[in-house]
Amino acid sequence: MDRLFAACPDFYHMKDYGDERMAAIAAVIRSEVADCRSLGDVSVYEGYALGLVARDLGCTDLVGCDLSTVALERARSSLHGTFVPFDLNRLYDDPAVTLPIPRPDVLLVCECLYYVGPVANLAWSRPWINRSRKLAFIGALQRHARKAVLIQHFGARQKQAIGDLVTEAGGRQAEDRWGIWLLPAAS
């Protein structure tokens, strides 16, 4: 990924998609989470989505991680916050692992789950594949937030399959177009 991202800044063409996704994420947090003062992102990429959501909410306490050190360097140059490398597969393999960032009020898990786990996208598009392992992973994410975990994936199959798991884990759908689901943090 580092080599891809180094060769192609804005590899995912985030800016071409417009900012409606981030506006929808911010709207859900504003209406569903009281007093969100800190935001974290488990796949912060170049900081684009986190930056827009944070600006919309007026939130300045930011943390994030990502597999790619190239993407993290770009996040650091555009945002103030703590951004450190982490492979989500470590948490998938062992849900007792601790994320290397302080626990934020709201933890964002957006457009990244299809990279995680042995059959990655296939499993996150079908709820029955590796169901208990994925539920354990979601439970681990809930322990890394103070108030809520926001999960967002807009691919039709992923949206449904991830939504089924989130519901089973005690969460609920907050928005349909972008596939936004909200889970309470683990107490």
Cβ nearer to ligand SAM, comparing 73 with 87:
87
Check binding of 158 to ligand SAM (CB under 6 A).
no
Q: Is 66 in the site for ligand SAM (CB under 6 A)?
A: yes
The answer to the question of residue 43 lying near ligand SAM (CB under 6 A) is yes
Between 112 and 165, name the residue whose CB sits nearer to ligand SAM: 112
Q: Which stretch binds ligand SAM (CB under 6 A): 62-70, 135-143, 163-171, 175-183?
A: 62-70
Rounded Cα–Cα distance for residues 180 and 154 (Å): 8
CB of 79 to ligand SAM, least distance (A): 13
Which residues bind to ligand SAM, rule: CB under 6 A? 1, 12, 14, 41, 43, 45, 49, 66-68, 71, 87-89, 110-112, 115-116
